[in-house]
Amino acid sequence: MPCRRVGGAVSAEQTVEGLARELSSYLDSSRVNQVRRAYYYAEQAHEGQKRRSGEPYVTHPLAVASILADLRLDHQSLMAAMLHDVIEDTGIPKEALSDQFGESVADLVDGVSKLTQIEFRSRAEAQAENFQKMTLAMARDIRVILVKLADRLHNMRTLGPLPFAKRQRIATETLDIYAPIANRLGMHSICTELEDLGFSSLYPMRSRYISKAVAKLRGSHQEIIQEIRGRLEEKLAERGLPGRIMGREKHLNSIYNKMKFKQKSFHEIMDVYAFRIITDTEDDCYRILGAVHSLYKPLPGRFKDYIAMPKANGYQSLHTTLFGMHVNIEIQIRTEEMEHIANNGIAAHWMYKNDQSNIISVNQKRVDRWVKGLMEMRERADDSLEFIEHVKVDLFPDEIYVFTPKGKIMELPSGATPIDFAYAIHTDIGNASVACRINRNLASLSQPLQSGQTVEIITAPGARPNPAWLGFVVTGKARSSIRHVLKHQKRTESLELGKTLLKKSLNGFGQKLGDIKDAQIEAVVRHNQVQSFDDLLSEIGLGNRMAYLVARQLVSGAGSDSQDTGADLEQSGDGYRRAPVTIRGTEGLLVRFAQCCKPIPGDPVVGVMDSGNGMLIHSDTCERLPESDEARSRLTHLKWAKDITDEFSVELRVELERQRGVIAEVASAVAKADGNIERINVEEQNARLGIVSLVVHVNGRRHLARVMRRIRNIRAVTHISRIRH
């Protein structure tokens, strides 16, 4: 609530006493006195300081405390509100506040001070870094963000005297960061006021235009509004149902966004008449729903039951749209407690603290779960930009509601997939997911979920996330968890591959890794400007450094190759011998097979190091291999392990005479040779001849020969060959 003014100036004495009277309605006198004492301490600390408007600075913390008093927050939050600028603006240390008002209040003030120092106007990275700090403060004590939101709300109410550029920055920051957080915490009244104030500061002319249009339309619609209200009141009285009916204002920012993003005209938005009915019990909500449906015809598909399935921020209400008197009528039906929670969100926790309300404890758990989720994402993210990318999804959700097999409701953002669902249950379940059932039927892990579906996740021990999942998951938790596992996997695999390549290179010099002295290893690590030997091995595995050059440094001394490009591998005369590296085909993310030549076990193969991505394996006759001697000297010679059982893709071209059922014969021949067909296409054909290309899974050259022999034995087949692009 804004400060009361007397003759243009604020009488702080009168205002603090007015606040004290308001607080006495829900706090005992000793706690009211503690809040009063915090005010006088702040008044002394800020003595001589003025706001841009010319008012004494202390009017600001007093107004912030008044906003929190409207939310009926506890006395410690109100004391922190009074003192929130003391550390930053007056030089009084945190320890002094701790001695005067206790550690909890001092921690709150310190948390708010740190948030106040956050500026979101700089580069995206700085903004993301600051958002991480905000998350930490919220995790320690959620009241920190409540005080900060009240502080921001009062600053937005009093933006007038500030320079234009600063007003624009603060308004943008409010719409991008603070209003979404207020919404996520369920604080609708603060969220909408922040949005409207931010909108009117950023777009003053648009705001004035929409505001005038709303006022004009409201006047002309007054008669219809009164008639609808009268009919609703009559129907409730007739059924003996308690309920107060309120008209619902449409907010300027909301109108503007609907016009901008949903391409709706102003009159389309405003031709909907909105009412809210507040009643006593949950049971009454459903009875009133029946009553209004008997009065006006409900529009199909426009009913939402947020009482049975609350929104992610704890919001509960029944929503229905009716058609009556030639207009659409939107009605929300909720209890008094739901109304308080809809307006005040997490702040309602303190309002109902003594009532032990079940709804409040559920909402408290919801917020705790969200903040905990933010902390998990923060730990997994490599950098702050990645973190804020994950968080944005959670700040702007359109929810869907799905069920676990045991009937528990899970809320997820719109577009969420079974993988998002799996990670929402538990990170380990997400990591081990291999398949899913939707409404008891097997379904794709990438299929977007719909509200009301029952989802069951099938897991397998040892399963790992697939990099392709990043292409379709939508929740921050799923994305950050998958990236975290893949990074760890990539690091482990790059270390293994790097060590293997380095050992083989050292063998070429007649040395073993175990024989190299620690001092020499440290010298090579320093020379290559990496943190550790593991980092150097990882760099080799990723293809960012050549194993041969590092081996040569280790053998002959760091720095000896500083000008060496590796072109003299064959001619160096230093006794270097090429030693092939053994591959199995199951090395993971960093050993991949080229799609151009599709090598299989038995083919002569070489490895090309792809900077940052590991090794790409080609057939040694592949046309895409480099031709220059220098580039060829960088290739890694490979040999296949003997006991490979994995399957590899091969593309075959089959020329055949067109006959009824010949494609089925080809498929049958492949199956009889224990091959699997991945893809089959009839590429070109005329009246007599056809050409078929098929991609077959085999486990080596011998298996391929068996498959090709079976296909060649089909009478209609005239020619078969293996395709290498």
Identity of residue 245: I
- Asked if 367 and 142 touch (Cβ cutoff 8 Å), the reply is yes
Identity of residue 119: E
Q: For residues 16 and 69, what is the distance between their CA atoms, to the nearest angstrom?
A: 12
The three-state (H, E, C) secondary structure of 409-450, written as one string: EEEEECCCCHHHHHHHHCHHHHHCEEEEEECCEEECCCCCCC
Angle at 450 between CA 447 and CA 451, to 5 degrees: 155
- Asked if 148 and 118 touch (Cβ cutoff 8 Å), the reply is no
Lay out the sheet containing 591-593: strands in order across. Answer: 581-583, 636-640, 605-610, 614-619, 591-593
Q: Tokens standing for 441?
A: 């039927």
Nearest to 179 by CA among 164, 170, 190, 163: 190
β-pairing, 648-657 vs 717-722, is: antiparallel
- 374: number of Cβ within 10 Å: 25
DSSP assignment of 441-474, as one string? EEE-TTSPP-TT-BEEEEE-TT----GGGGGT--
Helix axes of 336-344 and 188-202: crossing angle, nearest 10 degrees: 40
DSSP 8-class letter at 142 = T
Q: For residues 83 and 348, what is the distance between their CA atoms, to the nearest angstrom?
A: 23
> What backbone phi and psi angles, to 5 degrees, belong to 443?
-145, 165
DSSP assignment of 273-288, as one string? EEEEEEES-HHHHHHH
Q: Tokens standing for 162?
A: 């500030």
Q: For residues 705 and 422, what is the distance between their CA atoms, to the nearest angstrom?
A: 43
88 is catalytic: yes
**Active-site choice (22, 70, 88, 534):** 88
β-pairing, 409-413 vs 399-403, is: antiparallel
- Kind plus residue range of the DSSP H or E element containing 69: helix 59-70
- Asked if 84 and 146 touch (Cβ cutoff 8 Å), the reply is no
Surface-to-core class of residue 620, CB atoms within 10 Å of its CB (0-12 exposed, 13-18 middle, 19+ buried): middle
Identity of residue 711: I
89 is catalytic: yes
**Active-site choice (13, 22, 47, 89):** 89
- 82: number of Cβ within 10 Å: 31
Q: For residues 542 and 611, what is the distance between their CA atoms, to the nearest angstrom?
A: 6
β-pairing, 318-324 vs 327-335, is: antiparallel
- Asked if 317 and 332 touch (Cβ cutoff 8 Å), the reply is yes
Catalytic residues: 88-89
